[in-house]
Amino acid sequence: MSCVRSNEHQGIGFLNDPRRLNVALTRAKYGIIVVGNPKVLSKQQLWNHLLNFYKEQKVLVEGPLNNLKESMIQFSKPKQILNAANPGTHFMSTTVYDAREAMVPGSIYDRT
């Protein structure tokens, strides 16, 4: 999954939509590789939680493809989403839950 979109304001554009993230993560059949700038993505609350989870699971890596190493990046706390009227806000906890379930062996999403 390509998440390389960013701009001069370090915005993530459509990647900020929790519904799109939910679809991308839960449709993967065998696994998923996410390529992007974690410092930019982690500024958004949902991505921050997801990236921290990947880091805890030791699946967040960096470097050239022939020499990937566990990432040592430290994420700052994201800004709180203050606008409860923001479309998709109610999907945030479900999306994080689905993303975590998809990564846990033996979960309902485990395809092995």
Domain boundaries, the chain: 2-103
| pLDDT number for residue 92 | 47
- The partner residues of 3 in beta bridges, in order of sequence, read 36
Structure tokens at 42: 């982690």
> What's this model's pTM, rounded to 2 decimal places?
0.64
In tens, the pLDDT along 1-47 reads: 888 766 556 567 777 788 888 888 888 888 888 888 888 888 888 88
- The partner residues of 35 in beta bridges, in order of sequence, read 2
Residue 84 has pLDDT above 60, yes or no: no
> Is there a contact between 35 and 65 (Cβ–Cβ < 8 Å)?
no
C-alpha span between 49 and 108 (Å, rounded): 21
**Domain 2-103 is found in CATH 3.30.413.10:** no
Q: Which residues, at least 6 apart from 102, have a Cβ–Cβ distance to it below 8 Å?
A: 25, 26, 28, 32, 109
| pLDDT number for residue 101 | 54
